[in-house]
A = this chain, B = another copy of it.
Amino acid sequence: MILEVAEIDIHAGKASGFEEAMGQALTLLNSSKGFHGAKLFRSHEVNDRYRLLVTWDSIENHMVDWQKSDAFKTWRGLLQSYFAGTPSVEHMVLVHSLPEGE
């Protein structure tokens, strides 16, 4: 299982529009191959910063199956105008979990 961590900075004053658009965009992930779940978080300390955490079976499911899909074009269309820059994306591999197995 892979965790995608996307750090997203948006234009000032656009939080409510972005959060609404993201609510709609996230549903596009549902039918993507290898997708398990997603959570959008807003930073407490940094204004206009969000992190999107997505769990996938593999990096390929994110980088190929999702990012080369038509649904991803719709996703980008919904969200792109809110981004203050290109979101940074990293993939993480689980090492420890407490409680175990969760």
Contacts and interface: CB of A to CB of B under 8 A. Distances in A.
Interface magnitude class on chain A: 35 or more
Contacts of A44: 2, 59, 90-93
Given A51-B5, A51-B92, A92-B51, A98 B45 contact: no
Looking at chain A's contact residues, is the secondary structure mostly helix, strand, loop, or mixed?
A: strand
B95 A43 contact: no
A102 B22 contact: no
A26 B95 contact: no
Closest 10 CB pairs of A and B: A41-B92, A44-B91, A40-B96, A40-B95, A38-B98, A26-B98, A42-B93, A39-B97, A42-B95, A23-B96
